[in-house]
Amino acid sequence: MALVGLAAFLLAACGRAPGPNASAEVAMPEVFWNSATVYFLLTDRFHNGDPTNDRALGRAQDGAVLRSFQGGDLVGVLRKLEEGYFDALGVDALWLTPFVQQIHGSVDEGTGKTYGFHGYWTRDWTAVEPALGTAEDLRSLVDAAHRRGIRVLMDAVLNHTGPVTPEDPQWPDEWVRTGPRCVYRDYATTVDCTLVANLPDILTDRDDPVELPRLLTETWQEEGRLDQELAELDDFFERTGHPRAPRYYIIKWLTDWVREFGFDGYRMDTAKHIEEAVSAALKREAEQAFADWKEAHPDQVLDDLPFYMMGEVYNYELDHGRDFDFGDRTVDFFDYGYDGLINFGFKRDAAGSMDDLFARYSAALGDGELRGLAILNYISSHDDGAPYDPDRADPVGAGTRLLLAPGGAQIYYGDELARPLKAEGAQGDATLRSVMNWQDLERGGPTAEILDHWQKLGRFRRTHPAVGAGTHRRLQADPYIFSRTLETDDLVDRVLVAMDQGEGSKTIPVFGLFPDGTEMVDAYSGATGTVVDGRIALSSEYGLVLLGRSQ
Ligand SMILES: [Ca+2]
Ligand SMILES: [Ca+2]
């Protein structure tokens, strides 16, 4: 193992972040994001670090099962960050559900009385949701993540406001449409429509100037920041020359968080429900905001990796390549500011042969249509009712598939602890959003063993960008052995993964990947060995062996 790799491994093994990893290729952001492990969490459901904000805004705990705010907050995420929880998992980036202020009331969409705990029901894009904490809590969290070399993605919602409730008036008609409902037959019935009955859709296609809603001006007046907010908007419209149309107000508000806090990228919510040109406009402003933040905070800049925008184009999958089909029109979202898209096909693809999965993904990302672009794979998420392994029957095998697949890996909070995806009494997507099962981890036993597996694979991914971004090659069918090789101008990284090996002593052919005499550490067990006559002899209690070498 080369010194760089060894140092990174030892640091990672000690539970400390190795810092920005070797994959932070300036010229090749896709290498970083395809080898990245992104940890996605619902802030309200992860960890309660500050009980004083649990009843913010006087919201009641009268929602249906798992549909009220549950107490998790930004300070809770910070605590876990400081404990080294994410470092130990090899996490490269955090993706938090939206933190902007949510509707104060609740609605029932047919799955029970629900509050905006999930963050997708915006009331005020300029304020932090008080149940999640304060702007200072958010700053502390982003700064602490950056100090550990972990990036933070902001979940950005531009398509809709929150639902209308007795406490949350509808935005003016110049801002939103309240019908028709989307029926997804073609482009217009996907974009110019409301996702559900009571979810006003921002008129993202209109250029007519609009005034601010009274809801906002009155609130800002009470909070003593009206003049500042208005002055900032004047500056924004003057600088950009954009019309005072709804989408540009929101672009201003969304990019302010980047400019002030240094978010490294967006996860764009409901990306296929806004005109792709709107995404492109947002990206341009976000890049400017990120550059402004870097200039103002030179000591906090991690590296030259550009601002990243990843889209939730619901039902997009790797096999679609660059064309997403609306029925009457295809759109190449990668042409409109998106560097990466969430891969909704992984959960199904993962059910087949592991080598078919790996080979197909490697080919698509390596020399195929997606060359130079990024995807994000997942096995479960907050709104996918058909996750891989819904019963958590094999959380170890799920981790193997997700974390060893080419492409970025999204760990949805609790994948690594087999947090149940079925919650008694919960209706609809609430069942996917239970409170993090820290108590199972504290009990040790099987949950701790599952986490240990995910941690080892996650750190291997982080240390070796070839795992997610390298070229896949099957070396042996049975027992299965494969390699990944990544060669860039600055780095040559090679890994070999052997599965289904016997417990105890084993001799593994390395197929010329590592020269004779190479001393190696198995990243899964910590066992050491030396390559002799094209083979390495190791002893460990595991069937999985992870070998890697960077130059
Ligand atoms: Ca709390
Ligand atoms: Ca829309």
pLDDT tens, position by position, 420-456: 999 999 999 999 999 999 999 999 999 999 999 999 9
Is 551 in contact with 515 (CB distance < 8 Å)?
A: no
Ligand minimally distant from the alpha carbon of residue 79: 1
pLDDT value at residue 165: 98
Q: If you measure from the C-alpha of residue 99 to the centroid of ligand 1, how many angstroms do you get, rounded to a whole number?
A: 13
Which of helix, strand or coil describes residue 454?
helix
Q: If you measure from the C-alpha of residue 259 to the centroid of ligand 2, how many angstroms do you get, rounded to a whole number?
A: 26
Q: If you measure from the C-alpha of residue 276 to the centroid of ligand 2, how many angstroms do you get, rounded to a whole number?
A: 11
Computed on alpha carbons and rounded to an integer, the radius of gyration of the chain in Å comes to: 24
Q: If you measure from the C-alpha of residue 388 to the centroid of ligand 2, how many angstroms do you get, rounded to a whole number?
A: 29
Q: If you measure from the C-alpha of residue 132 to the centroid of ligand 1, how many angstroms do you get, rounded to a whole number?
A: 6
**Per residue, what are the HEC states of 308-320?**
EEEECCCCCCHHH
Ligand minimally distant from the alpha carbon of residue 45: 1
DSSP H stretches of helix in 443-503: 446-463, 466-469
Which of helix, strand or coil describes residue 301?
coil
Ligand minimally distant from the alpha carbon of residue 132: 1
Closest by alpha carbon to 103, among 56, 142, 156, 50? Answer: 56
Q: How many angstroms separate the CA atoms of 371 and 136, rounded?
A: 40
Q: If you measure from the C-alpha of residue 227 to the centroid of ligand 2, how many angstroms do you get, rounded to a whole number?
A: 30
Ligand minimally distant from the alpha carbon of residue 194: 2
Q: How many angstroms separate the CA atoms of 133 and 52, rounded?
A: 9
pLDDT value at residue 490: 87
269 is catalytic: yes
Neighbours of ion ligand 1 (CB under 5 A): 48, 50, 53-54, 71, 73
Task: Please state the separation of Cα 174 from the chain's center in Å.
Answer: 33
Indicate which residue of 312, 317, 415, 440 is catalytic: 312
Ligand minimally distant from the alpha carbon of residue 129: 1
Residues (pLDDT < 50) of the chain are 1-26
Q: How many angstroms separate the CA atoms of 336 and 357, rounded?
A: 28
Q: If you measure from the C-alpha of residue 141 to the centroid of ligand 1, how many angstroms do you get, rounded to a whole number?
A: 15
394 is catalytic: no
Q: If you measure from the C-alpha of residue 137 to the centroid of ligand 1, how many angstroms do you get, rounded to a whole number?
A: 12
pLDDT value at residue 369: 95
Extract the tokens encoding 50. Answer: 């500050």
Q: In Å, how far are 48, 163, 182, 260, 269 from 119, measured between CA atoms?
A: 16, 12, 21, 20, 11
Q: Which residues of 450-476 are buried (b: 16+ CB within 10 A; e: fewer)?
A: bbebbbbbbbbbbbbbbbbbbbbbebe
Indicate which residue of 25, 50, 73, 269 is catalytic: 269
